Structure 1
Amino acid sequence: MSTSAFSLEFDLNNAEIRTMNKMYFKDLYKKRVTFFLAIVLLGIVFLGGDHNHDFFQWILRDLILVIFFLLFHCLIVNTICKVTFRVIKRLLKFDRLLRRYKFSFTNSFIGVHSPLGGFTHQWCQIEKAILTKDFFLLYIRDKNAYIISISTKDNCCHKIAELIAFIDGNVTPVERI
């Protein structure tokens, strides 16, 4: 990879934001909500309640609580995520929130930023790069196999051309369709 300074940043349009929320942040947010609920459960099990009673009663009560959590955690997490993404969908009408969604590309990583969190990917995770008439697609090799799509219409042609040249020369050949 070239050691020359390379840095680009792309703002996202509404369609790209919706796609990114579905692909990236839905999984990330589900993991965060599950982690938070697991911490709450552990807090209730170990810190909540009266431990002066019989040890068997304490174990039985907490076992029932853990089983209840495991049975209904998917439903609870999905409900929390659906409500959150409905609120975000309504909030996307405001420019202030829209400007916080960005892709950034540097020599060493690809950054995906949003109000819900962010990801960074190394260039070696790029499996394939495809340029179509309307989009430039980067296929990320990861557990969930993400696709980064950048609209070629809304972004400056010079920026897209510079990104394509960098990827074509330093990362992987760009397929043109």
Structure 2
Amino acid sequence: MNTTNFSLEFPLNFSEIRKLNKMYFEHLFKQHIIFVSILVLLLLIFSDLSNVNLEDDFFLWLIRSLGIIVFFVIIENSFIDAVSGIVFQIAKRLLRFKKLNRRYKFVFTNSTVCIRFPLGRLTHKWTTIEKAILTKNFLFLYIKEENNYIISISRKDYDYRKMEELLAFVEQNVIHIIKV
């Protein structure tokens, strides 16, 4: 097999989409919310700093900023969980539309594993694969990163030749596949 031209694409089935939404995209979405909320917090603190006379009110500004940070940390987790819950309830309802389901795909190339979804894509290098396990019905790829992920690929829903080509590529070029 020529690895320079290796490229496979698999559409995701409904159960794979649900698993990825729960494990992968929910975490990614939470990271975006945290980033935006930290920016808002910093904006509040620095806008308050611009209105303070540093010689007279610095200590009061410092206490007020510390109070804002503590309040922010306390309510941030509940806010993030509430917003994530709402978004993923909407996502579950949107998965009923076949047109949207077709936009979820695994794309494997010689250097990356890519997951395409309606809001963008996530890409991992093959070097982040820690373990590959093959069962009767699934291929599991364990990705080692900041938060470990498991990508499951159903063997029964895809063209047999494509799946065998993916298995051969992983075995020869990435990592030994553990067969269970």
TM normalised by structure 1 equals 0.91
CA separation in 1, counterparts of 2:80 and 2:2?
43
Does the residue aligned with 2:116 lie in a helix, a strand or coil? strand
Q: 2:95 aligns with which of 92, 100, 106?
A: 92
Deviant stretches of 4+, over 6 Å = none
CA separation in 2, counterparts of 1:158 and 1:64?
61
Q: 1:129 aligns with which of 112, 117, 132?
A: 132
The answer to whether the 8 Å contact 1:138/1:147 transfers is yes
Match of 1:20 in 2: 20
1:176 is aligned with what amino acid? K
The answer to whether the 8 Å contact 1:51/1:58 transfers is no
CA separation in 1, counterparts of 2:176 and 2:148?
19
Q: 1:52 offset after TM fit, Å?
A: 4.7
Q: Any gaps of 5 or more consecutive residues in structure 2?
A: none
Q: Any gaps of 5 or more consecutive residues in structure 1?
A: none
Does the residue aligned with 1:143 lie in a helix, a strand or coil? coil
Match of 1:37 in 2: 37
CA separation in 1, counterparts of 2:177 and 2:75?
45
Q: 1:95 offset after TM fit, Å?
A: 1.8
Q: Higher helix proportion, which one?
A: 2
Over the aligned positions, Cα root-mean-square deviation in angstroms equals 1.9
TM normalised by structure 2 equals 0.89
The answer to whether the 8 Å contact 1:25/1:116 transfers is no
Counterparts in 2 of 1:130 and 1:67: CA distance versus 1, 3 Å = same
The answer to whether the 8 Å contact 1:12/1:102 transfers is yes
Match of 1:146 in 2: 149
Q: How many residues align?
A: 177
Name whichever of 107-116 and 69-78 sits farther off.
107-116
CA separation in 1, counterparts of 2:139 and 2:125?
18
CA separation in 1, counterparts of 2:80 and 2:4?
44
CA offsets per residue over residues 95-131 of structure 1, 9 Å max, x none?
2221221111001111112234432111111122122
Does the residue aligned with 2:5 lie in a helix, a strand or coil? coil
Match of 2:10 in 1: 10
